[in-house]
A and B are shown apart, each in its own frame.
Chain A
Amino acid sequence: MQPIHLAWVDYAILLAYTAFVIGIGWALRRYLKTSSDYLTSGRSIPAWVTGLAFMAANLGALELVGMAANGAQYGIATAHFYWVGAIPAMIFLAVFMMPFYYGSKARSVPEYLNMRFDYRTRCVNSISFAVMTVFASGISMDCLARLLALLLPWQFDWNIVGHHFGSYDVYLYICSGVVLVYVLKGGLTSAIYTEVLQFFMIVLGFAPVVWLGFKDVGGWDALKGKLAEVAQNPAALSLNDKSFAPDAWSSAWKPILAGSAHNPMGVNVFAMVFGLGFVLSFGYWCTNFLVVQRAMAAKDMSAARRTPLIATVPKMLFPVLVILPGMLAVALASMPSKLYRLPPMAISDTAFVQAMADLKGATPATADAAFDKISKDVGLKMNKTKLAAIIKANSVHSIADSELKIELQDAVSDNYYNGVILSLIHRYCPSGLLGLALTALLASFMSGMAGNVTAFNTIWTYDLYQAYIAPKKSDRHYFVVGQATTVVGIVLSIFCAYFASHYSNAMNIIQLVFGFVNAPLFATFLLGMFWARATSTGAFLGLVGGTLTSALFHALTLASGDVPGIKGGYLAVVQTFPSEMAQNFWLASFAFSVCFILTLVISLATQRTKSDAELKGLVYSLTPKLKDDEQHFLLRPAVLGTILLIACVILNIIFW
């Protein structure tokens, strides 16, 4: 990645954002009196704020960068994550589940599980969630520190008390420090407010980039035309070895309905709708405390129910902002006059040494052998023609090392999809807009850490500390513990960031574990909220069984083209899937089903431990229906939800 040159105005914007974020935390501190204020915002925030925060909490590093990456690799089918996955789940949460979360006065999702079932299910959920949030926070910080080390011109090389601190370390600590200050002072409210700020930064920072890219390509029809060319020969851009129908990148449903061999994602309609649309999406949006916590912070029940609904509106339109750039990048890369290429995977510093030596020693006569050797040195797919051209030019006229390095890097043909959004920002943004777009990117990474730390905070303080370690203390005690946990949470995140930075597989491992845990969880909640007969033992064993099924499924299956190991199949390969996504979606479907069936069967075989009276307000059939008649017709959750669902269906039809 070429170094990006930042001007005074870019630094000024970054500084302004940082100052405001800390300032918000500082300004909020005098409103925080109780532990409830600190950890759950005292349930006082208006619906539009919680709605935007609900959506923004999910917009971390992986989402922003990853969606553009997927948009490049898979085209508009990526929008299914939003239009088939997230939106229906958010509507379901608002209409059916919020009454239980909010009405039960549970302060967290595990606390709801404790009320509905017992301490065992709560324990499993809080521990797995606590671990996941800390890792998610660490990953955000790792991405942030690496990006800053790449972009900012100040390099560090300090030695303090025998420890070495490089640029990455310094930026990591500075960013952690900023997050620490505003979350420590302002608690959850601080995190929520900065998430809303971040939301506007992203919309206002990315919109011009997308608009410029769109104009550059020449409009939607031109885009479709270019993508049609690419779809028939994706190998030219190193996207995919197969060939697809012309609409594979610009049509969301047809290539999937045609079967797993006919779309770049390699999934069929069942895996997509059930695995992604139902299990994974509902599992995330309906049970993940990071987002649910924002809805629970709303000022009353009707605001709480409207929160996810409000969030669906920007969510429906977000594909334009985050997925379209990926598609535009692919179109641009296929237009030679635009002088753009998809960013290549980076050659590591150690690999460079050997590769450079081999490159300098090569001649046009030995070009073929050199190609094989260099490809092995670098560990990535190389472009033979480009490499031959470099060798030829170098033999005529010795090229300077720095120039040679750049050309060698450019000869890599494996794409670094995560770099697409940054490459577009670099391409179109002059100073000023550059600062805005980069600050938006950094803001989302930072709030990825803050959001996860506040979720961790609440889970630890209420579900683990208060529940098992020190119950029945004063509220002041828990307030202080909450603040201390903020510090601990950030320290743990820093450790996780280092872990992620040292093991390139770390992100894969962590996403794997998320998948294991999320998939069966929704089955537990579904049965818990809608079936009074579900027993505590049933829920506990079902959840454990479902999670183990995930692990087992992963150990026995593999995606085609992968090697057994971290990607699966390390016990035996019983089934191969056309792609990793397909493997993920099927894993989720299996885990969900096993958890559902186990919970069902074991519940029927065990005694209920809670009476109907105890379950009032926690189960659908035992809760008086909420009277929505006083509200204006259009504001009633069920009505609003239906309207939004119809809007979503219309979107699906337009991009059919």
Chain B
Amino acid sequence: MGLDIRWPIGIMFTLISVLLIIEGIFTGPSDKALGMNVDLWWGIVLLVFGVGMLLGAARGGKKESDGGK
């Protein structure tokens, strides 16, 4: 429908992952999360997810323009 949904998903989760990673670095491991620095770790997971989405969207756009030729 014109806008590949992977773009907004990718950008948003990359943004959120950066926020989580920053928070994780500043606050360190948390007692609530059973002593783990869950913000940092989960932030990294989300970063991988977000970037993965963006790569998917970029490749999807390229395939369309190649196919159009």
Contacts and interface: CB of A to CB of B under 8 A. Distances in A.
Genuine A/B complex: yes
6 contacts: A20-B8, A31-B3, A197-B12, A208-B38, A430-B32, A432-B23
Nearest to B21: A432
A4 B23 CA distance: 18
B1 A204 contact: no
A9 B9 contact: no
A42 B3 contact: no
Main secondary structure of the interface of A (DSSP, over half): helix
Interface of B: 1-3, 5, 8-9, 11-13, 15-16, 19-20, 22-24, 27, 30, 32-34, 38-39, 42-43, 45-46, 49
A428 B32 contact: yes
A193 B34 contact: no
Nearest to B53: A200
B8 A193 contact: yes
B9 A196 contact: yes
A41 B39 CA distance: 37
A430 B30 CA distance: 7
Contacts, number: 91
Interface stretch (A22-30, A91-99, A285-293, A357-365): A22-30
Contacts of B15: 16
Contacts of A9: 19-20, 22-23
Interface string A191-230: 0010011001000100010001001100000000000000
The 6 nearest A-B residue pairs measured at CB = A430-B30, A432-B23, A31-B2, A432-B39, A9-B23, A20-B12
Interface residues of A, number: 37
Nearest to A7: B23
A27 B9 contact: no
B43 A432 contact: yes
Contact of B38 (A45, A193, A433): A433
B3 A27 contact: yes
B33 A204 contact: no
A268 interface: no
A114 B46 CA distance: 47
Contacts of A41: 1
Nearest to A30: B2
Given A212-B34, A428-B33, 9 more contacts: A13-B19, A24-B8, A30-B2, A31-B2, A44-B1, A193-B5, A204-B45, A427-B32, A436-B16
A17 interface: yes
B9 A197 contact: yes
A431 interface: yes
Contact of B8 (A45, A197, A204, A427): A197
Contacts of B5: 49, 193, 196-197
A433 B33 contact: yes
Q: Which of B1, B33, B49 has the most CB of A within 10 A?
A: B1
A9 B30 CA distance: 15
Contacts of B27: 430-432
A518 B23 CA distance: 47
A500 B23 CA distance: 38
A317 interface: no
A562 to B, nearest CB: 39
A531 to B, nearest CB: 37
Contact of A429 (B2, B19, B32): B32
A609 to B, nearest CB: 38
Nearest to A429: B32
Interface string A27-46: 11011000000000110110
B60 to A, nearest CB: 10
A509 interface: no
A216 B30 CA distance: 14
A44 to B, nearest CB: 5
Q: Which of A12, A45, A433, A435 has the most CB of B within 10 A?
A: A433
Contact of B49 (A45, A204, A212, A431): A204
A49 B15 CA distance: 22
A501 interface: no
A30 B2 CA distance: 9
Contact of A212 (B12, B16, B38, B45): B38
Contact of B13 (A44, A193, A200): A200
Given A16-B12, A41-B1, A208 B42 contact: yes
B22 A204 contact: no
B2 to A, nearest CB: 4
A212 B22 CA distance: 21
A436 B20 contact: yes
Nearest to B30: A430
Nearest to B11: A20
Contact of B33 (A12, A42, A49, A212): A212
A429 B23 CA distance: 13
A486 interface: no
Contacts of A535: none
A485 B42 CA distance: 41
A189 interface: yes
